[in-house]
Amino acid sequence: MDYRITTNLINRISILSLLICAQLLSYGQIMRYQKAKLNNSFPLINKWINSKSNSKVFAYLDSAISVNPQNSAHYYYRAFANYLLKPQNREVSAQIVKDCKNAIDLGNNDPELNYLLFLQYCDCEQSPHGGNIGGTMYINDEAINWESALDQIDSAIEKDSKNEKYLLAKVLFSFNVSLPSTNEFSFDDFYSYEIALNNLINITKSKAIKSEGYSMLCLLRLKFNPDTSLALSYIKLGIEVNPEDVSLYSLRAQIKESLGNYKSAADDYSEYLKKKQEARIYFYRGLCYLYHLNNSRAAINDFSKTIALYEQKRKANLNKPQYLFLNNEFIAKAYKERGLAYLSIGDNAKACSNFNKAIEYGLRDGNDLMNSFCD
């Protein structure tokens, strides 16, 4: 498989994670929803929250629970009050878990309780949104691990199977937990995530998430159960849903390149560039022109555009040395390929000039090129 497709799998997971996180962990969204419930049930709480008298909120709920410990609503609201109004730490998380469980045990069937438990169980190890997978930990003497989190989000989905937030949560969590250890990723996992992604696509109203979902289906199909025809059909569906998602054209082009369909791949890169100017895409199209379509001059134009765009970014980020470091290798490759393109049309002087520039940017085999083709 093309290395770019493999790399793209990880990148697309990150992109999808960001899109999903925007909805999944939207503090404002859950805050508005739960505060509305708090306000409607306890007008005094509304007054205290608006006056930032959070201590009165907790004093009221603590007193209510003390007076009537069998009322599930009080545990429910204290769990969400802790989540919404206090800085999050292990102690607060333990109290949230305890209150959620008390509310459920007393008959509260609201799936939001399972969702809140899911969020706490994610955080009690390390968050799946950027942390490492940990082992079992304990909250209120209860052993908690990733399976505990999945159990809670599954319970929320069982209670409300049409809730987009819950479906998004499970997909995001499952991908982030399972994909870094692909040796443990079974075909059963693959099919369950394929089904989950299809459910997500059918339910979400977001064009961006729909197109990302189709992209993920394509990449999973390529990586775990190769079927390029079906993979390409997913990309087609994604483009139909969201034709402005330029990354779909790039992904389709890479698949076509791996199949040897270079003319069609170059066309997809061109479609991408109509919508967005990006150095990386000019570089990939230039490689198609140079090595597969016998069009050296078109390749030279694309490599020149690659260099110009990267240099433009460098100048805009002169105060960010890490940015310059990360891009040197790519610019070096662009100069090298432009030099080889000039060489193919017999312009050795310009070829050697480009090889020299590539060496300045750290090209490892630059001296070999100079020794072979330049005086």
Q: How confident is the model at residue 149 (pLDDT cuts 50, 70, 90)?
A: confident
The span from the CA of 356 to the CA of 338, in Å, is 12
Say if CB 45 and CB 55 are below 8 A apart.
Answer: no
What is the pLDDT at residue 132?
A: 33
Q: Which helix (H) or strand (E) holds 247?
A: helix 246-258
CA distances (Å), 221 to each of 70, 187, 191, 209, in order?
A: 50, 11, 10, 18
Selection from 19-28, 33-42, 69-78, 125-134 with the highest mean pLDDT:
69-78
The answer, yes or no, to whether residue 242 has pLDDT greater than 50, is yes
pTM of the model: 0.63
- In 118-277, beta strands by DSSP E: 137-139, 142-144
What is the pLDDT at residue 28?
A: 41
296-375 CATH fold: 1.25.40
Q: What percent of the chain has pLDDT over 70?
A: 70
Per-residue pLDDT, averaged over 19-35, amounts to 43
Largest CA distance in the chain: 93
The answer, yes or no, to whether residue 159 has pLDDT greater than 60, is yes
Domain segments of the chain: what residues? 296-375
pLDDT tens profile 298-325? 999 999 999 999 888 877 766 655 454 4
